[in-house]
Amino acid sequence: MGMPEIPSNLQERLRAAKSVAVLSGSGISAESGVPTFRDAQTGMWARYSPEDLATPQAFQRNPRMVWEWYQWRRQLVLEAQPNSGHLAIAAMEGRFAGFRLVTQNVDGLHQRAGSSRVLELHGNIFRNLCFREGIELDELVESIEPPPRCPHCGGPVRPGVVWFGESLSGKVFEESLRACTDADVLLVVGTSGLVHPAAGLPAHAKASGTFVVEVNPESTPISGLADVVLRDKAGPALTSLLEALP
């Protein structure tokens, strides 16, 4: 299968663009072998849905199980490599006067691909926080019964991600909203557009006059408002897009 065609209107928009923003979701990490949020969970986690595990209530109910789910995911991500989609986005950074990357992902693969100043709406799976105090921890006290404990108060340690029912960082969200609405072109890559408030960013961008592009093999609630849809996988589509740049 040849590389995806980039429509001429999109090529023109990118040529004229001073600022470009990208909003990515777990679909961009799929080609790295990291399951998306709505893929069936595999192995021992098959019977759980992420929405049931990624909540403060689940952690309070069963800290060991939730902690071990994150340890399993951390290992998966450490064994994964950034793919051509991550690399194309990292390369785009140097091609526009203004470029911002906003991600819903917590896997850190954009940073490993070379992207800088990544706005992580939902935190990062490799950070550790005290569940009681909310502060970030650099060292943990191992305990016989996982999760490890906070060295200050002895509380259980949790991953530094935003769980369902938890508020995003106001600062990060404001900066992400501005990045999307200030952009001449917004590339929305690999997201089902179901998780709010992140899923509302493309509509805000569109309302402010941004040219919105969706890159996703499947249609989503964002497809209807996109000016261009590249119904393709992120890797090949973003590689073609990068090659079409002046």
Part in contact with ligand BV8 (CB under 6 A); list of ranges 25-33, 89-97, 110-118, 137-145:
25-33
Instruction: Please state, as a whole number, how many other Cβ atoms lie within 10 Å of the Cβ of residue 131.
Output: 20
In the complex, residue closest to ligand BV8 by CB: 27
**Binding of residue 74 to ligand BV8 (CB under 6 A):** no
CA distances to 85, 98, 145, 205 from 232, rounded to whole Å, are 11, 26, 45, 22
Q: Listing from the earlier edge strand, what are the strands of the sheet with 98-103?
A: 119-120, 98-103, 19-24, 185-189, 211-215, 228-230
**Separation CA 59–CA 53 (nearest Å):** 7
Q: Which of 20, 22, 37, 63 binds ligand BV8 (CB under 6 A)?
A: 37
**Separation CA 24–CA 103 (nearest Å):** 5
**Binding of residue 216 to ligand BV8 (CB under 6 A):** yes
Q: Which of residues 120-149 bind ligand BV8 (CB under 6 A)?
A: 122
The dihedral region occupied by 26, where left means phi > 0, alpha psi between -120 and 50, and beta the remainder, is alpha
Part in contact with ligand BV8 (CB under 6 A); list of ranges 1-9, 86-94, 102-110, 133-141:
102-110
Task: For strands 185-189 and 157-161, give the pairing.
Answer: unpaired
**Binding of residue 239 to ligand BV8 (CB under 6 A):** no
**Binding of residue 204 to ligand BV8 (CB under 6 A):** no
Number of residues that bind ligand BV8 (CB under 6 A): 36
Q: Which of 63, 82, 156, 190 binds ligand BV8 (CB under 6 A)?
A: 190
CB 105 within 8 A of CB 122: yes
**Binding of residue 102 to ligand BV8 (CB under 6 A):** no
Q: What is the largest CA-CA distance in the chain?
A: 60
CB-nearer residue toward ligand BV8: 74 or 132: 74
**Catalytic (active-site) positions:** 122
**Binding of residue 165 to ligand BV8 (CB under 6 A):** yes
**Binding of residue 210 to ligand BV8 (CB under 6 A):** no
**Binding of residue 173 to ligand BV8 (CB under 6 A):** no
Residue from 187, 5, 3, 1 nearest 95 by CA: 187
Site residues for ligand BV8 per CB under 6 A: 25-28, 30-31, 36-38, 51, 54, 104-106, 122, 161-167, 190-192, 194-197, 215-218, 220, 233-234
